[in-house]
Structure 1
Amino acid sequence: MNLISDALAWIADPQQWQGGDSLQLLIGQHLMYTAWAVLIAGAIAIPLGWMIGHTGKGREAAMAVSGAARAVPSFGLLILLVLLMGVLHKPEAALLTFVLLAIPSLLAGAYGGFEAIDRKTIDAARAMGMTEKEILFKVEIPLGLPLLLGGVRSAVLQVVATVTIAAYVNLGGLGLPIISGLNLRRFDMVLGGSLLVAALALLLDTLFMILSRWAVPHGLRLQRRPSANPARMLFRKPAPPMQRQER
């Protein structure tokens, strides 16, 4: 408990929120790397996933690439890219590492959302005379949006947790107090930085959870709504027993 209280005191210390390595600056750097990585990965993976889900071609190759990308260790990839691209391109190497980390979840969410759609819905759209472009933008994308946002949610959480390694190559972020604390044996700094990363991940997770629920089409929300509230049924008073009619 003393370590936790020391970590909270370190976070609340006004000195940590001032200067060149202030916590608000480190949080901003952390969010900047996360946002750019997910945006670039989304620009690559989401159209590709939609194409795979719409045409049904290339699914096995996409799964193989996603599995291989998940198996690559992020820290080793970061060091390798820094060595290959040079120390003058450390930000680009770090960003490329985070983009490669985010692509598998986004790709799976994009084509998984299309595959979850009932084929009868697509056949009905074609029977109504809709073109393939109209089916894509008016049927498949809206119905696949909840699963896509689930993939974005997963990608954001993975990148937020991994951006801490950017501090190993002096790029800032919330990994800086963790690494500095380990070198200085200041475990209150280590735990404080870890708590900030966890709090940031929980905040983003809650935001994307709300967005995923909001993205469900209104008609599907009505179908999922239960006909009766189970809690209300559980606590409902029993009906009085019927009295026998006397002859």
Structure 2
Amino acid sequence: MTTQTRRSAVGGRRLRLAIAAALTLVAVGSTTVQAHEVAADQPSNGDPLSLAVVVVAVVSVGILGGLAVILTGTSLRARHHTLFDRCLGGLLVILGVTLGLSAVAEYPTVAVAGLVGGGFLTRSLTTHAEHNHHAELALGTLVTHRTIEGVALVALYQSGSTIGLAGALVVAGHATLETAVVGGLYSERGRPIAALTIGVLQAGFVGGAVAGALLAIVLPLHLSVAVVAIGAGALLVVGNITFSGQHTPA
């Protein structure tokens, strides 16, 4: 085994450990918040503190995944990209369907409009981001995805703690993969530039989560269902794009 191969193997193990540790952080953080709310007999739907904890945990996941790639010089192989994309994309679609059905059950007309609008907007934003090339293509597309996922996570949390936890875990895994991709693409330009792109990626997610949370707070109930439906439509489109591997440059 050459020195380069050995270094790559060690880097790969470190990346897998970082992903596992980060997902554990999200799971423990989310379940701890839920346990506190159950003990206090308070519902988790839309609770700002609960959402903030999960957002911080998901952002931490992305940062850990990106830094692991930058510091170890590791990049995921093509077959691993395909496997992760198909698994995470399928889960995102399932979450989108579940979320959409829950919204339709409450306000069918509003929910259908939100589903169509969320899906169309997500597809339009993603298509616009794909006008760039190579590393810029990945960064533009993935920042768009992360922003949309921030809104979607709020929608998931609005629908209930169980779905919110499942959504947080899937979004966390997706965040780690996407940030690892961008970190690997920009690592050749130097660690400061790569770290900056990781920060931009996570800022997009936080911005989306804040926007979604503000909408959920100020809107009446039937329009809050629209936010949930928009998040569901976004998840369906992002899940389909992720499953097909369209967001990962060759």
Larger radius of gyration: 1
Pick 1 or 2: higher relative contact order, CA cutoff 8 A, min separation 6: 2
Query: Which protein is richer in helix relative to its size?
Result: 2
